[in-house]
Amino acid sequence: MLSERELERYDRQIMVFGVEGQERLKSAKVAVVGVGGLGSPVAYYLAAAGVGTLLLIDEQKPELSNLNRQILHWEEDINKNPKPLSAKWKLERFNSDVKIETFVGRLTQENADDVLAGVDVVVDCLDNFETRFMLDDYVHERGIPLVHGAVEGTFGQVTTIVPGKTMRLREIFPRVRGKKGKFPIIGATAGVVGSIQAMEVIKLLTGYGEPLLNRLLIVDLAHTTFDIVELR
């Protein structure tokens, strides 16, 4: 049940997907894997939407060069507070009705079961395909949706993986190998792509709209183009 406070706070989005949809958000648990450029807007907008529990996963501390895009981390956090704890402090003060859980460390095949226990949706906000493919394997074993996002420069991509209904991430990107080194990125690119990822999660949880199933959205903000590739 939603409290009077929650009914007022989420009034504008309840007008879109109804009280039942809001209650689904409240009862859900979402894992945000990577609390950097993508994870910051994803976590922020899911907290704003009233997702009941957010699990923030990252092993790094904020650095000065992160601050052009990682909006949940401030100068006072640099080389001090791990990213999940830095984000938790802000999000709890932004929406005290949302429970923020954290895992400071690297998500691996060995610890995924323990770390991701009870999660309804996993959001890929990572910067390497090694961990992405591990997540891809995990969600297919557990039947959990995965929202993938990636950015570089002014480009971004988003797709939603639902086991049994869509192609696997490994099938979509079969030739990707290893972790890229330092790459360019404009903060607004991460903001746009992360916001789209958050909306994918909201659609999955509420049943409103059409998620990007077997479709890859490609964004080029330098030329303001949005293209969808049909995946087969």
Domain boundaries, the chain: 4-230
Write down the H helix ranges in the chain: 4-9, 11-26, 39-49, 83-94, 112-115, 129-142, 169-172, 187-206
User: Could you give phi then psi for residue 87, rounded to 5 degrees?
Assistant: -70, -40
Residue 12's SS3 state is helix
The tokens for 29 are 């648990």
Contact predicate 223/156, CB 8 Å: no
Q: Name the β-bridge partners of 32.
A: 56, 123
Q: Which residue has the tokens 């000065």?
A: 64
What mean pLDDT is predicted for residues 142-150?
A: 98
Q: What is the pLDDT of residue 185?
A: 96
What mean pLDDT is predicted for residues 193-214?
A: 98
Query: For the whole prediction, is pTM greater than 0.85?
Result: yes
30-89 residue pLDDT tens:
999 999 999 999 999 999 999 999 999 999 999 999 999 999 999 999 999 999 999 999
The mean-pLDDT minimum among 72-76, 145-149, 181-185, 208-212 falls in 181-185
The tokens for 100 are 């923020």
Closest Cα partner for 31 from 129, 138, 168? 138
Cα distances from 67 to residues 34, 40, 63, 97, 171, in angstroms, run 15, 11, 7, 27, 33
Contact predicate 83/62, CB 8 Å: yes
pLDDT interval class at 16 (50, 70, 90): very high
85-143 residue pLDDT tens:
999 999 999 999 999 999 999 999 999 999 999 999 999 999 999 999 999 999 999 99
Q: Which homologous superfamily is 4-230 in? A: NAD(P)-binding Rossmann-like Domain (3.40.50.720)
Local structure of residue 185 (DSSP, 8 states): B
